Amino acid sequence: MTPAVRNALQRSLRTAFTERLPLKLAALFFAIVLWLVVSAEEPTQEIVNVRFTPALDSGVVVAGDLPSVRALVLGSGRELLKLYNAQPVIVRRVRTGMRDSVRVELGPADVDLPAGVNAVVRDVRPRVLTLRVQHVAPIAPADTATDVERPAP
């Protein structure tokens, strides 16, 4: 390759990248925006944190920290982004009786997604929680059932 041909090639390559630079930057910007819009509508799945709130008998408190619960949620990217502002929640009525620990089984149907979120919960981890409870006041005889109940609608 002769020096004249090499200089001509370098010059044409340089002008290909620097000529009409504002138009090229605008095209790149719009391509990125279009990619973001389309990818936000594509179905995806995400693991999100879920707030577990046990409704305990009167005179009973949870000893220690509540366990962390996570859920696998399926939906569009736009819908899953809403879950970062409003966290899903599980509210369960737990009857402890006279026991010091209670076993609670969880499932996808227990997760309440915030209003306006169009997504589906596929799985919950862990499936079984063991809550250590502490009795701080006497329990009324009506509250001594040993079963775990779901809250009334």
Which of 50, 58, 61 has the alpha carbon at shortest distance from 86?
50
Q: pTM (2 decimals)?
A: 0.64
pLDDT of residue 147: 47
89-94 and 101-105 as β-strands: parallel, antiparallel, unpaired? Answer: unpaired
> What are the pLDDT digits (tens) for 91-142?
988 887 777 888 899 999 999 999 999 999 999 999 999 888 888 776 555 5
Q: Tell me the CATH number of domain 42-149, given options 3.30.530.20, 3.40.640.10, 2.170.120.30, 3.30.70.100.
A: 2.170.120.30
Cβ proximity of 77 and 108 under 8 Å: no
> Residue 153 pLDDT more than 50?
no
- Residue 99 to residues 18, 28, 132, 137, 145, Cα–Cα distance (Å): 76, 64, 9, 14, 10
Give the three-class secondary structure for 110: helix
Phi-psi region of 6 (alpha: psi -120 to 50; beta: other; left: phi over 0): alpha
Per-residue pLDDT at 139: 57
pLDDT at residue 82 tops 50: yes
Distance, in Å, from the CA atom of 57 to the CA atom of 113, rounded to the nearest integer, reads 25
Q: What is the reported pLDDT for 142?
A: 57
If pLDDT is split at 50, 70 and 90, which confidence band does 62 have? Answer: confident
CB-CB contact of 125 with 69 (8 Å): yes
